[in-house]
Structures are given as C-alpha cells and as structure tokens.
Structure 1
C-alpha cells in the first residue's frame, strides 16, 4: 500500500513556519535552556525540567525553549508532548530558517516515526526537501518512512536519490542495505552492496572494501581487507578493529575477536564501542565477570553515545551470572535514564519477580 502524497493543512503550516515564522525572545538569553540541555545529556530529567521552568519564567527564547522541551519529552517517551513542543519551536522561528530549524524538523519527523505515524513523518521530510533539495539525509529518512509504510517503490526512489547525492558514501549504502534486508528485501539489498565492488572505485579503501565484504557475508575477504587496513599508517584504527573482530564473531571464533579487541585496547583504551563489543564476546564465552569488567570500563569513559547499550549489556551479564539483585539495581538506574525503553520496562517487571 503506497503512502498518500496529499499535502495536508499541517504540511502547509509547517512550510509556512519554516519560511516565515513569528519570532519571539532574544537568542542571546538562554542560559537556563543550555543548562537544561546539559542535564538531559546527563539523563537528569527532573533537573532539566526545572531549568526549562526557570527559562520560561525568565522569558528566555521560545524557539530554543520549546525545542529543548521537545527533546526532553522525546527522551521521556512522551512523544505527543514532544511533537507539540517541536511545532511550537518551529512556529517561533523568525525570518529565513537556519540549521537549527532543520534539525528541529528532523527531531519532529523522528518522533512521528516512533509513533508509527509515517504519513506525518513523510510530510516533514517533504517540507525539508522543498527547501533543501540536495539533503541526502532527508531523502534517506523519507525513504525509511515509505519503506515502513510498505511503499517499497517510493522508498527505493528516495534511497537512490540519496546515493546519487553522495556517490562515495559507503556507510549510507550499508544503512540502506540494513533497512531493506530488515524489511524482507535481502537480495535487492545485497545488489546495492555488490555494485560497490563491481564498479571498482579506485579510491575505495581497504576498510571500505572490508565493510562491504562483511555485510555481503564474505568473511574471508572482509578479514583480508581489514587486516590490510589495520596495518595502514593513515587509516583510523578503531572502526577497522571493531569490524575485524566482528568477522571472527560471525564465524564463531570469539577467541580471535577477543584477542583483536584486547590488543587494540591495550594501546588505546578510549573506545567505549570496542569495550562493549569485547564484553558481548565474553558474554558469549560464558565469562560473565570479564564481561561486566568490560562494560564498566566502557561506561567509565562517560561517552553518552554508548552508555545506553553498555548499561543494558551489563545488566544482561549480571542476569546470566545469576546476580539478579545487582541486575535489578542497575535496571532501576537504566529505567531512570532511559524511560522511553518499553523493552526495558518489561525486563524490569521480570527482574522484580526474581
């Protein structure tokens, strides 16, 4: 079933706010908003809400305040409230829309997607692309909305447009591969990756060749390319090591993967993603104590991009070890930091019975 392409009044309003806006407040006065955003980054949501109340009382900029409040509500899983906030932020835009307004629209569309309101999300991406006709991210995301609403053909058109706009972006092609595969279009997805290797790009790096080979399931080729990349002086080593270890994992050789990760971390320990992958390998090997140590080492680095996965995996390690009391304690901490995680809510109920 194709997604309806009719432009509703909501789209007209959205485009209008992007183009005109009403404006409100002074952009220079937003110290409480900034402090609130810092609290959100630290998962201190009650403190963030207090800052936003203070910002409202002080008459701080509405555009920034509503955007920040939307981010807070989104993190709390209060998606309807978040949508209302993002729309208010856009309505407070004055003059020509800037980067922040487009960023707010991406937040808005993503929130619609969390509610599975794919038609509404698509309209937001339509609005972005009406003003930024070469935004590959908007084409990719609009393609996702169409794919999720079973408009496969429309999704492919947008994915192709995104790839045309970014011809050497292999990460983008891998994301499209994953999306199509997850929706049941495995062979079509593989063709996208295979074409990367067939149309040999003279500038394609060994790491990129290794990436593509890995996702195509050619583990031996992937390993060869990644080993070459690991020994190249100019190549960033962390992503190479992460994928190289995973080639071993896919073949069930967890000892090889653990060796790859540990060797790298002994020289450069500032990589929470690699600690996380090491911990997962140790989990698979039944080394629950080692897994906990790895997850804790990753968490200690304080990188918010990985803290969610690391903490949940640490909980899993304690569960496997039979230490349900510690798992329950950490789950309470996790639920406070990530209240929007419905799966964790069910897991918390399970732990309460142990």
Structure 2
C-alpha cells in the first residue's frame, strides 16, 4: 500500500533592472494606483497581471529605497510564488534581503521558493540561517520553510537529517498536523510502523488535522503493516466517509475486508 505525501539605493536599482527589465519611468503619482491594481489582481487570483502591475509600480517610483518599494516587492514575490514562478519569487526575496536586511521572514519565504524551484540545498541553507536569527521561533513562514527544507532533505536521501530537523522543531514548540504527517512518513521509510502510527495519531489530534487528509490514510497504512487489519479498515472507511470517494482507498477497503 502506498502512502500519500500530500504540501529593493543603488542595489535596488541594479537588482530591479535585472528582475523586471529596463523600463521607462512613469509618473510617480501613478505608483499607488499600480500597486492597488496589483493587490486587486492578486486577490482575484490573476497572478500574472498582479506581477505586471507591481513591476509598473516599481518603475513609477522615485528609484530610492523606501517603504513603498519594499512593500511592493513583498506583494510581487507573493504573486510570483502563487503563479508557480518559484525561481522569480526567490530572486525577489534576494532583492528584499539585499535592501531590507537578512530578516528571518525573507529567509523562510525564500526557502520555500527555492524548494519549489528545485534548489534543495538553497532551501535547507535558508531555513537553517533563519532559525539562527529567529531566536523566538516566531518569524512568519517558519513552518512552511521547515516543511520545505525537510522535504528537500528527504528528496536528497537524508530522511534521518529531516527527522532531526522535525524533532528539534517539535521540542521548540512547533505543533502542526503537516509536521506530524512528515514525521510519520519518515518513520514509515524506516519501516518503523509503530512510530509512524503514533506520529499520524498525534497529527490527527491537532486542530488543523482537517487540512491534512493524508493523515487518516497514512495511519491506516501503518496499522495494516502492523497487522492491525480491523483498525486499518476502520481508519480507511473513516477516511472515505470524511474526505469522499477515493479509488485507492476503496481498493484498500476491499482488500482489508478479506483479512
């Protein structure tokens, strides 16, 4: 049975020339209109139009580093990420780090973007650097960066390193159904079915468990490998009842009824 995995000074001027191309300067009075148009497009899910509007807002600015430019760059990075342009999003966070400082928030968000673009080493490095700077472990995007870095480690064949990363986060107070799901999957990769089932169970007890439907499915898989077929059947039937029809789950239910 398979498991489910479910998850802008001078520097600014130079960076923006690279990032958005050489563009003419619009009227500075228009920059707020462009930003507002970008936010509206972003909220509507029109991410390409949002990026274009944010680029126009930056081109219409005075060309000096200020709160406006940083604000627009944050929006642009979000739009790029949501559009699936992870490499461009990471480039925008590069600019933000150069002009606004090495903030844990930016490192977390770049970590996720780098993971999406396939830069697994960069994703891990950003998360680790963020944790060094974020002494209170409360910077925005920390959990997503943790999961991105951990999954990057898993993809590189370092599941044990990923597990160490996850366990350290739990010790520091991180509680997330997604995190426990990843921990359970790491244990399953080592054929530690008891440990896996316990992590999935812990994840299911958290308030955000409904956002991770794979937990029920994966716990059923772990219970089956333990030989607890009735428990596995009950869990798989509960999974279908809660999350709707699932061809793979239906096949497993049919199988488990014969055990």
- Report Cα offsets for 1:164-220 as digits up to 9, x if no partner: 46753545534432xxxxxxxxxxxxxx33333445422581112222221222222
Q: Which residue of 2 aligns with 1:176?
A: 83
Q: Secondary structure in 2 aligned to 1:316? A: helix
For residues 227 and 325 of structure 1, what CA distance do their matches in structure 2 show?
A: 42
For residues 170 and 41 of structure 2, what CA distance do their matches in structure 1 show?
A: 37
Across the aligned residues of Structure 1 and Structure 2, the Cα RMSD in angstroms comes to 2.7
For residues 335 and 193 of structure 1, what CA distance do their matches in structure 2 show?
A: 33
Instruction: Pick from 323, 329, 335 the counterpart of residue 234 of structure 2.
Output: 329
For residues 113 and 82 of structure 2, what CA distance do their matches in structure 1 show?
A: 11
Q: Which residue of 2 aligns with 1:196?
A: 89
Q: Which residue of 2 aligns with 1:219?
A: 120
Q: Which residue of 2 aligns with 1:255?
A: 160
- Report Cα offsets for 1:34-75 as digits up to 9, x if no partner: xxxxxxxxxxxxxxxxxxxxxxxxxxxxxxxxxxxxxxxxxx
User: For 1:293-312, what aligned pairs fall within 5 Å after superposition?
Assistant: 293-312=198-217
How far 1:337 sits from its partner (Å)?
1.8
CA contact (8 A) 2:177 2:209 kept: no
For residues 44 and 112 of structure 2, what CA distance do their matches in structure 1 show?
A: 24
Asked if 1:160 is matched to 2:43, the reply is: no
**TM-score, with length taken from structure 2:** 0.63
User: For 1:66-77, what aligned pairs fall within 5 Å after superposition?
Assistant: none
Q: Secondary structure in 1 aligned to 2:206? A: coil
Q: 1:195 to 1:135 in 2, by over 3 A?
A: closer
Return 5+ residue gaps in structure 1 as ranges.
1-132, 141-158, 178-191
Asked if 1:235 is matched to 2:139, the reply is: yes
Q: Secondary structure in 1 aligned to 2:133? A: coil
- Report Cα offsets for 1:216-257 as digits up to 9, x if no partner: 222222211111111223524323322222221111101101
For residues 183 and 79 of structure 2, what CA distance do their matches in structure 1 show?
A: 26
For residues 183 and 240 of structure 2, what CA distance do their matches in structure 1 show?
A: 24
Compare relative contact order (CA 8 Å, sep 6+) and give the higher one, 1 or 2: 2
Q: Which residue of 1 aligns with 2:45?
A: 139
For residues 230 and 178 of structure 2, what CA distance do their matches in structure 1 show?
A: 26
For residues 78 and 130 of structure 2, what CA distance do their matches in structure 1 show?
A: 17
For residues 147 and 91 of structure 2, what CA distance do their matches in structure 1 show?
A: 25
Aligned pair count reads 190
Q: Secondary structure in 2 aligned to 1:286? A: coil
Q: Which residue of 2 aligns with 1:317?
A: 222
How far 1:318 sits from its partner (Å)?
1.8
